[in-house]
Chains A and B, each alone.
Chain A
Amino acid sequence: MERRTLFGGWALPAAFVLPQALLTILFFLWPAGQAIYGSLTRQDAFGLKTQFIGLENFVDLFTDPLYIESMWRTLGFCLAVTFLSMGVALLLAVFADREIKGRGIYRTLLIWPYAVAPAVAAILWILLLHPQIGMVSHALKTIGINWDYKINGTQAMLVVILASAWKQVSYNFIFFLAGLQSIPRSVIEAARMDGARGWRSFRTIIFPLLAPTTFFLLVVNLVYSAFDTFGTIQAMTQGGPGKSTETLVVKVYRDGVVNLDLGGSSAQSVVLMLGIVALTVLQFRFLGKRDKT
């Protein structure tokens, strides 16, 4: 049967679509367009003259050792955050999936951190890890570790990885828990009857059956760690000391807003945008394919 619209004219449907369309145009299409246009231009330091220079910004980017270095740094950071947060979340989910007392409270507490704003989470971590006043750094110093992430780049990286991963654990936890609960009890029981216990049962039965969840979370976490961690990093280290925690998004902000290289910064934004598009396409294709079988 043919579906027919009930609307006579175009005004009413247009009015329904308008708010969302406006939002999309105002907050996505327009800035994205600006970024793309900006990436093809060069401005003088005072913003008085703008010059169209084609792809020169991009050529500059990919020949800039600092940019390449930042890419590798970002990759390492993303992988570390993703594996840390997913690993911890999976471990917690496996335990929360068991029959334990106070399961509801346990789960609720685990989900809380997700509701904490990045900057607030950052403050919390600063209070714990601050070189002078932090509890953790105090403890570390008493056992002889010279803790100062404001000076030591490696320590700074560890700190932002920890804070960023912590924030994402809740989200991953919910998905892993749901994934675990959708595995039929009887399949795990069949494995028990077959002699599989503990780690073996997890490795050969539970983890393979979680694969769709794991893949979905992998993509989500990579995107999160590449883009949504700006707030956490900016609040904790501002990309420093030096450039040791300067990931690509932080670099966009530093180069554009702080150093006022709008063209180069725009070009970086465009590169990041393409990265997101690629990840999204990958996820849609892969998950779409799985659904069909």
Chain B
Amino acid sequence: MATLKLTALRKNFGPVEVLHGIDLALTSGEMLVIVGASGCGKSTLLRLVAGLEAITSGAIELDGRDVARLDPAERDIAMVFQNYALYPHMSVFDNMAYALKIRGLTKPDIAARVRETAEMLGLAPLLARKPRQLSGGQRQRVAMGRAIVRHPKLFLFDEPLSNLDATLRVTMRAEIKRLQRRMAVTSLYVTHDQVEAMTLGDRLLVLHEGRAVQLATPMEVFERPANTYVAGFIGAPAMNFLPGALSHGGTAVSLDLGPVIPFADGKRDGAAGQRLTIGIRPEHIAPVPPGTDPTGLELQVDLLEPLGSETIVIGRLPNNELLSVKLPKNDAPTHSMRVAFPATHLHVFDAGTGLRLDPT
């Protein structure tokens, strides 16, 4: 249990700067999920904290001690790798005991701790096996056990579930969450999977091109995305974006397609005619009966994706732009439908900067 503080952390690979100054503070026992598209620098950030890459500048403080120049061995941080990285020539027991042996624990102590951890993870019957005799899920569990058995100050997870099949991923996701809660070890979890990000994290850090674009609780990131990138990245299917302009003294948006929608949450600053990007999630778009709502738009159905409990409609707006709508199971139209954008669910962004515009 420890706090982690990153200050102005930068990393260059040769002349290319991949992390442009990351600031971050984790409270003891917190699980922070770092999410972003491939190449956003999330794995690099994790490897800097682990000590597997040297930082270019900045500070990494673990429990108030700057560990940035220390060898990974001296940092007391455990890491779970994407491909498990088990020692193939050692049994499950030896895999888990390795770090303890290096620290010079006595044999009975090692055996006791490995057994305790193995019980917790349901690995007890597998202790004598070699990694190649285990299934993917079991290997993942051993990788977790190897981290847990050390009682480290900090856990690092580098996309630990991405090599598992879909069913197993759901089970393991819940298990990781339970374990992390139970052990209350401060954790950094890197993923590109937004479901993992939403469900696992106490807080979420969205990285984009080496910069932290938003740091908040998962629900806040979902409900109040800081910019259009976050808005489009979190949520499936992705948020729809429509161009418009500020009108009516900042109290409404006039969409380029025609409808004028008043802001439900208040007035925005800015000159009349300022370009806006309006975001609305597929599940918030409401189908309306023809002719009842003047702000409604005609949508030509392009593709239907029935998911069982709901149906995704991908349709074309009058200007030929695509729009996705999430509907309850049986409401799927076949040719066309009329949709409206409820004022209460609009996300307003500046079209130029992409930043969220909140009411004043």
Chains A and B are bound partners: yes
Q: Which residues A188-212 have CB closer than 8 A to chain B?
A: 189-197, 200, 204-205, 208-209, 211
Q: Which residues A165-216 have CB closer than 8 A to chain B?
A: 184, 186-187, 189-197, 200, 204-205, 208-209, 211
Assess the A192–B52 pair: CB atoms within 8 A.
yes
> Which residue of the partner chain B has the closest CB to A185?
B85
Interface contacts (Cβ under 8 Å), in number, total 60
Interface size on A, residues (CB 8 A): 19
B130 to chain A, nearest CB (A): 10
Assess the A209–B88 pair: CB atoms within 8 A.
yes
Contact A186 B83, CB 8 Å, known A193-B50, A196-B73? yes
Assess the A195–B102 pair: CB atoms within 8 A.
yes
B201 to chain A, nearest CB (A): 22
Contact A208 B89, CB 8 Å, known A192-B52, A193-B77, A196-B98? yes
> Which residue of the partner chain B has the closest CB to A293?
B132
On chain B, which size bracket covers the interface?
20 to 34
CB neighbours of A192 from chain B (8 A): 51-52, 71-73
Neighbour of A187 across the interface among B78, B82, B85, CB < 8 A? B85
Assess the B87–A190 pair: CB atoms within 8 A.
yes
Q: Which residues B73-107 have CB closer than 8 A to chain A?
A: 73, 77-79, 81-83, 85-89, 98-99, 102-103
CB neighbours of A184 from chain B (8 A): 83, 85
Q: How far is the CA of A189 from the CA of B80 in the complex (A)?
A: 11
Assess the A186–B81 pair: CB atoms within 8 A.
yes
> Which residue of the partner chain B has the closest CB to A192?
B72
A76 to chain B, nearest CB (A): 31
CB neighbours of A196 from chain B (8 A): 73, 98, 102
Q: Which residues B175-197 have CB closer than 8 A to chain A?
A: none
B158 to chain A, nearest CB (A): 9
Q: How far is the CA of A208 from the CA of B98 in the complex (A)?
A: 14
A184 to chain B, nearest CB (A): 7
Assess the A189–B87 pair: CB atoms within 8 A.
no
Supplied contacts A190-B79, A192-B73, A197-B71, 5 more A-B pairs, CB within 8 Å: A190-B87, A193-B72, A193-B79, A196-B102, A209-B88
13 contacts between A and B (CB under 8 A): A184-B85, A186-B82, A186-B83, A187-B85, A187-B87, A189-B52, A190-B85, A191-B87, A192-B71, A193-B73, A193-B77, A196-B102, A197-B71
